[in-house]
Amino acid sequence: MNPHLFTPEFESANTQDIADELKNGSGYYVCREAVNAEVLTALMSGLPAFDCLVNNNHLGFVKAYNSNYLGHTLAVSRQCYHIVTSEKLRAICRSFFANPHKLCNQRIYQTHTASHLPWHTDNNLQSGNQFDGKHNMPGLMFMVYLSDVNETNPFQLIPYSQNWSLSNRNQFFQEQFIERNYGKDVVTVRAPKGTLIICSTNMVHRAEPFHKQGFKRLTFLFQVDEISAEHAGHGESLLVNPAFITDRNPEILNYLGFGIQSDYPAFPETSVSTMLVKDIVSLQRTILPKTVKSLMISVAKKVLPGAVSNTIRMNLAKRRILKSDHV
């Protein structure tokens, strides 16, 4: 485990006090620049490109309308794994939860100008990819800013809303209702990258809508929920790179959900239909030249004698090698 994962300010914070505030107080906690700058740099440099993968066996970002999502952070980022499984955050969970609990989801996502998620809570149940109501299990959401968030698209929450939000069983809260009854209570978290936000999954929150062209916010988010026999299978399927697991403490494996049923697919549900037209066009520009080349090779194999085809293939291979040597 990286001994310098977090800044001294966050490392010195009392985990019991944080848990008490989350459980019995306002329901949220914020530490500015909680994650060390070196860790953030390593995390960002290790992320895959935002390019859409086609017939590619690697893991990468997917496109869901105006946002990009990496739904398997613990399979591609050692830094994400260490943050999620850090003793500091697990200690907060141990103090907060009275019963066994586990990681239920994790993702890095990039918001976009046209993205807007209404006021909501995260104590959601699913049936496949569909919303299937609310649950009453305790839960915590952890969020790390991977971008500086000042005036544009900050995270917003309503303190103490976890005490009354359970009366609403719908997926979202109406904007007019929040503005009329709780507008003056809204907390807006404008803070630099590396800032850690923790809040109850029953807390009403959103990202403030924005219309600044070109601005994108990158965020690492994960959620830990109580384990309940009533809701067996709650939580997303998890991919983990075993090379990251340097500490085989059973507590960590239980916390990650090893051996525990998790039926939800990785969020969000994606297909060609969730891509914007510009993304589809960009993808076609990449695919079309390769399609033409493959078609020509296929035709050549059928028309030309085998010896000639092999000679052409060998010459093309040599050209690729020479080209790579000059790069």
Kindly report the CATH number assigned to the domain that includes residue 25: 2.60.120.620
Supply angle C-alpha 172, 121, 273, rounded to 5: 60
Distances in Å between the Cα of 45 and the Cα atoms of 68, 69, 77 are 17, 16, 10
Shared-domain flag, residues 52 and 166? yes
* Per-residue exposure over 207-227, b if at least 16 CB sit within 10 Å of its own CB, e if not: bbebeeeeebbbbbbbbbbbb
Last residue of a domain, one of 274, 294, 318: 274
* Tally of domains within the chain: 2
Residue 299 has what pLDDT?
73
What is the CB neighbour count within 10 angstroms for residue 303?
9
Residue 227: CA atoms inside 13 Å, Cβ hemisphere, count?
16
In 3D space, the residue among 189, 190, 148, 198 whose CA is nearest the CA of residue 44 turns out to be 148
Of 48, 17, 52, the closest CA to residue 31 belongs to 17
Q: Which of 256, 180, 194 is nearest to 42 (CA)?
A: 194
Q: What is the mean pLDDT of each run of 10 residues along the chain (327 residues)?
A: 83 98 98 97 90 78 81 95 97 97 95 80 92 95 95 92 92 94 96 97 92 81 96 93 92 95 87 74 74 72 65 70 61
Pair (285, 169) in one structural domain: no
From the CA atom positions of the chain, what is the Rg in Å? 23
Residues 261, 10: Cα–Cα separation, whole Å: 33
Closest CA relative to residue 178, chosen from 250, 51, 170: 170
Domain boundary among 254, 274, 294: 274
Strands 62-64 and 187-189: unpaired
Task: Tell me: do 95 and 223 sit in the same domain.
Answer: yes
Asked whether the beta carbons of 188 and 154 are under 8 A apart, the reply is yes
Do residue 281 and residue 261 come from a single domain? no
In a domain? residue 3: no
pLDDT at 2: 56
Q: Do 194 and 320 reside in the same domain of the chain?
A: no
Which residues are CB-contacts of 10 (< 8 A; sequence separation ≥ 6)? 31, 34, 35, 88, 196
Q: Are residues 69 and 144 in the same domain?
A: yes
Give the pLDDT score at 64: 75
Same domain as 185, residue 265? yes
Same domain as 300, residue 210: no
Structural domain boundaries, residue 221 = 8-274
Is the residue at 2 inside a domain? no
Q: Are residues 232 and 312 in the same domain?
A: no
Has residue 34 been placed in a domain? yes
Q: In angstroms, what CA-CA distances link 105 with 74, 83, 149, 323? A: 10, 14, 23, 43
Q: Are residues 237 and 190 in the same domain?
A: yes
Q: How much is the pLDDT for 8?
A: 96
Q: Let me know if residue 302 belongs to a domain.
A: yes
Q: 146 and 166 share a domain?
A: yes
Q: Say if residue 215 is in the same domain as residue 154.
A: yes
| Cα separation, 67 vs 61, whole angstroms | 10
